[in-house]
């Protein structure tokens, strides 16, 4: 298993989040084999045993998306064992994943959120400027939380008004910085200079003790401010990424351009946002079509 995870990390370049999930999935599978079949080596599991584990997950009412991720983990694992000649037959060949219902990404409404950014009085101190910058970055660029936390000072080009981010699979992309984000960034950088100058961290976003921010911190910030404009349960950093894409599409942006901005590997991943825009299309149709 150690060799497998090193292979995923260094050769396949899987994200830390995916590696953590696969560690959990493979660990749960190993526990099941030991408890139910008294097997200590997953390489000894056959098609029937693997299928029984998947059925047990279905009976526990686990979401299809979660089950499919575990199946993807096992596919990668047994494909690796086959390449390493640890097994002669891949037991995953006839395993079929359950069909997952399409879950549309949640998003915040354009007008209330922009009113929050433009009209709300954030505290005139380092914390206030940092909180606003977090919101501006997530909504203004559509980047992922991990990408936001990974930004370092050399990644920012104020002259060109761009930011360089490292996405999934260590793929680098350049995202333009809009005017609102640019001014928030300038204000934040000025406030950051008042912090502990002895800290050598190159990370852009830091705490008041000049230490790099962490995921839960950003979650709390986003939840705090989104809670001011909606009672919806959609209040995670990823919701602002969804909002970025949905609002761009509503304004007529090209789907391929949105794909590149989001850092999606294929257009299929971006097309989910077209479903969120159907209400906008209906509204245009009702106003414009003579038979509407």
Measured between alpha carbons, how far is 89 from 86 in angstroms, rounded to an integer? 9
CA distance 210 to 192: 8
Helix (H) or strand (E) holding 162: strand 162-166
What ranges in the chain are assigned the alpha helix state H? 2-6, 16-37, 47-59, 64-83, 110-119, 126-141, 145-150, 179-192, 215-226, 237-250, 255-262, 267-270, 273-276, 278-288
Residues 6+ apart with CB under 8 A from 210: 195, 196, 199, 201
Kindly list the catalytic residues: 144, 168, 238, 241, 264, 273
Specify which residues 152 forms β-bridges with.
Answer: 203
């Amino acid at each position: 298993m150690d060799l497998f995870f090193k292979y995923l990390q260094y050769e396949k370049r899987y994200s830390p989040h995916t590696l953590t999930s696969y560690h959990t999935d493979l660990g749960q599978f190993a526990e099941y084999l030991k408890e139910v079949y008294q097997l200590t080596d997953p390489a000894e599991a056959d098609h029937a045993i693997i299928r029984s584990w998947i059925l047990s997950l279905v009976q526990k009412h686990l979401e299809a998306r979660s089950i499919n991720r575990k199946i993807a983990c096992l596919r990668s694992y047994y494909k690796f064992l086959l390449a390493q000649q640890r097994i002669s037959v891949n037991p995953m060949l006839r395993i079929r994943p359950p069909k997952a219902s399409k879950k549309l990404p949640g998003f915040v409404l354009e007008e209330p959120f922009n009113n929050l950014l433009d009209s709300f009085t954030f505290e005139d101190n380092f914390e206030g400027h940092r909180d606003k910058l977090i919101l501006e970055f997530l909504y203004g660029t559509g980047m992922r939380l991990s990408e936001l936390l990974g930004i370092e000072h050399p990644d920012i080009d104020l002259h060109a008004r761009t930011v360089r981010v490292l996405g999934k699979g260590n793929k680098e992309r350049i995202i333009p910085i809009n005017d609102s984000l640019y001014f928030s960034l300038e204000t934040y950088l000025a406030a950051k200079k008042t912090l502990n100058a002895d800290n050598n961290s190159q990370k852009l976003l830091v705490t008041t003790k000049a230490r790099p921010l962490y995921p839960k911190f950003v979650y709390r910030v986003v939840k705090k401010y989104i809670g001011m404009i909606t009672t919806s349960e959609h209040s995670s950093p990823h919701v602002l990424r969804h909002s970025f894409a949905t609002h761009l599409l509503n304004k007529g942006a090209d789907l391929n351009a949105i794909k590149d901005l989001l850092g999606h590997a294929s257009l299929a991943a971006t097309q989910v946002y077209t479903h969120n825009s159907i209400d906008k299309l209906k509204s245009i149709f009702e106003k414009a079509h003579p038979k509407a």
